[in-house]
Structure 1
Amino acid sequence: MQYVNFPEEVNEESLNKIGGKAFNLAKMIKAGFPVPECFFVNTYAYHRFLEVNDLKEKILERISKINFSDVNSIIEASKEIRSWIIQASMPEDVKNEIIEAYRKLAKGEIANIDVGMVSTYREDLFVAVRSSAVTEDIGKASAAGQQETFLNIRGALNVVECVKKCWASLFTPRAIYYRYQKNLPHDAGMGVVVQKMVNSEKSGVMFTINPSKPDETNVIVIEAVWGLGETIVQGEVTPDLYIVDKQTGEILKKEIGKKVWERIRDVTGRTVKRNVPSERQEAQVLTDEEIIAVAAYGKKIEEYYGRPQDIEFAIERGKIYIVQARPVTFLAEDVKKLERKSKTQGKILVRGLGASPGIATGKVKIIHDISELGKIEKGDILVTEMTSPDYVPAMEKSAAIITDHGGMTCHAAIVSRELGIPCIVGTGNATKVLKDGMIVTVDATHGIVYEGEVETVEKEEKEKVVVSESEIITATKVKVNLAFPETAKLEIAEKTDGVGLLRLEHMLTKHGMHPMEYIRQGKHEELIRILEEGIGKVAEVFYPKPVWVRSLDARTDEFRHMQGGEKEPEEDNPMLGWHGIRRSIVE
């Protein structure tokens, strides 16, 4: 098939074809992990859809007009773009392949079928339709919660429609903002995972390190809830927390949360949210045997990938399924700087779970829903019942995050750690106790919110033995390589002989326009200003030491996703093509 791939077809070169989530699932299936059977709608289908409906340039042009400092500007653009996609027609060739693949899945004709579930297959098989963006679940860009997932979908035509909805979710406000913040392209494309639905009685999230203390690499942290896993990710309840010794498998800690809600599939096949019966609200979700078994899978998956993992699991009729795994994008060095201060004194207003360490003081802003995100200004303390991915632009502005609900693995916790923002979750009453405009100090290292601005002190560092303070003399000059002007620090300048290489790529591309488009539009002064600001910032920090600047050699393929990039010529081999001296002679 041209537009659909099956796990056995995936190889190391498939990432850009099916996206990060699909790529990881295929690898785990091949490695023998209990992943529900699935197929992947690839990025060729996505680009075919855009081509047939003339949407690619229209979308990029609309994004180029966004004011990213204004939340409402992002939201308005998102609504327009998503409506274009939803209203557009699915190409017949793409539609037919999706329908054929769904029927194969329903009949149990896809490789790696779990024989224990064959009896559940039928023409209207329930599936989950999940995004798999090319820039998702890879390296340092997890993109947690950026795109949509659709649960308990059945029927071939409904699956086709949900694939289109997944593509539209590539342009939710949080996804657009995330790519802007991470300097990722907006037209890299999206694969879609269509996966046999696990009708889970229990589900959860597991980190193979302690997410709030990433230097604790010898433990596995598990959170679990009743029903489907969306409840835990959305932070709607306080989940059970289990901590397991990674080496011995011993359960070190159990904290039983109050789970008042659960999501289930009802008799009509719909995903519904319902109250948990009182006798189960504070009951332990996973048995001790299940805790140990889930942790064992976590250890094996971490060993397989060679780095800490963020893993989602589900349990149906006693069988554990792994439904997602992605790399942890924050590590110990990312949070050490947030833990340097300790509180001294103050009136305690609220307590919760410290999910992302650090201390911050600011003005409280209570947010009840997404329509109020415009209230958040730089340095505010965002207080809400729970966050969702739509909150990300406002979270990035905030000095700290406080939520009523959620645990270590909810959206607020994951995103705060990735942004390096202090976060306390599961307070139970922060939105009621704290008031708009109050000044508070958030000590997320200890999970405490204090009234007013509280004096803090630096943690005492262990005494270091200094062998010599004399300057090290080298025959070779030691210079640094810089790509981001923001990383030019005085302490670096003092210890080096200058900048050996200052790259222009990031300076020129972060504004969303192809470097040559400035010239084509006669915006020479704007281009000069961008270079002056970036290079000038580095030169000022390192003065009077030399700064060597590498000019930009713009190949025709490298910046095609940016505004004006579509005007670059198409080449079979851009590496040997129209760039460098060839472009300079012509232009």
Structure 2
Amino acid sequence: FISSSYGLGEAVVQGAVNPDEFYVHKPALAAGRPAVLKRGLGEKAVQMTYTDSEEVGRTVDFVPVPADQRRRFSLTDDEVQQLARHAVAIEKHYGRPMDIEWGKDGVDGELYILQARPETVESRKATGTISRYTLAQRSNVLAEGRAIGQRIGAGQVRVLTSIDQMASFQAGDVLVANMTDPDWEPIMKKAAAIVTDRGGRTCHAAIIARELGIPAVVGTGNASRVLAEGTPVTVSCAEGEAGFVYEGLLDYTLQETSLDTMPEAPVKIMMNVGTPEQAFSFAKLPNHGVGLARLEFIINRQIGIHPNALLAVAGEIERPASLSDNTVREIREKIAAYDGPRDYYVRRLAEGISTIAAAFAPETVIIRLSDFKSNEYANLLGGPAFEPSEENPMIGYRGASRYLSDSFRQAFELECEALKYVRNEMGLTNIKIMVPFVRTLDEARGVTELLAENGLRRGENGLEVVMMCELPANALLADEFLEYFDGFSIGSNDLTQLTLGLDRDSALVAEGFDERNPAVTKLLEMAIAACRAKGRYVGICGQGPSDHPDFAEWLLAQGISSISLNPDAVTETWLRLARSGTRSAI
């Protein structure tokens, strides 16, 4: 992990600036492959410089960073990887994790290592037990920044502008400040949580919060102005890289799992992972990989722009009149740090994919191609200009038919480019591809041919392509569909909905939704049997096995290859299935 900003590095340590952040994958670095997993563009509003002032005791000034530099990353990928190689060499020399300070000379442009000392927080954490905090409810988000740690804290807001206000701070309060320095540490030790306006993951507040085991949200930009004194709040760092300050004292749970006492699972227990931000945290749970990683979650959270809107801005497709100048201007502002619209989409998507794949490597990670429906794509920036208005998007313009359509094919090719880069260039070949909502055999043939045309051919470089078995037609013609795919991942939600003819989002018919209905289990039995007969993978991703223990045991008896669950259900389901004595019939 590397932080970077303009000017003297002390500004980053103090927390006076929100820096750029880079994550590097060490195995890819060692193999000489592209290794930057993720880039975070910091605000970098000011830089610390040596002063020309003759004032006694004044040695530095804070000066504004020009807007064009703020919109760019302060390091290139090559520089990030060079620093990472230096860091790995230093770690190897000392034989332990190290905290390293570095600088880039403004005259010769060279990178220099300035200081290296032992890292004393993460490396000392116990590895035998996993603690997982989970919010039981949500409320209004009052402030948002970078999450430090993975805990949750709650208390009354105390906004301090000076250390002289120390006497007003009570144990269990939430400390809110512009930034902190070593003089604040006596207060910080008493805080239930810490929130700052400025700072990155290596600032003083973040370092001390980690040492104390206190949740902190840094770099919010405005917390000291928007959080009212005495207001009860809940500070959550349990939702990934983003930390949130919620209104009120919210309920939350703490689940502790001892890895030393986990029994052998009777079947592969995989995980459904939606957000890359939480991938490394989730990977610490007992698991056999990722059975479902949704590309649409990455697109929504890390890109936020309709792919066709980006292609239109790039001039690669015709720009519709309904794509306004204001929208184009907003798109250009969002992508300013990248080498154009295509680079933005492919790089951001590749970052999300590679983060999940690296977190769980060498275990299998099944990436499902984007499965937005038209109304969901329309919610992206520029989306309304490219999406139809459908009466029933759930069974409309989605899945394989969308990828093959003339109006979306070029956008789909961007997905392929990102996946190809992560597998072939970064070397994360633990990725399998999953195709959702394949209605017909013609679509099955067409989508596998389209993947091959874009460098993702089944069997090349160990690539496997599986299909979501979520339509009755998929189970009824399982043998025929398996001619085009390396296995099935059963989507029990859509399969149940379409078999029973009910809307799973409608409260009026919700009572009838049950994966254990005989019509559904008959189709499941057919799909599983077809895969087993051909020696193909067959898994299931959905809440059914965790909600209904008898359903999970039935799946094992049928010979299911894996069960993929939401992270909060993994440990409990693992233990329950192990205790049941039932084993997969594979």
TM-score (normalised: structure 2): 0.40
TM-score (normalised: structure 1): 0.40
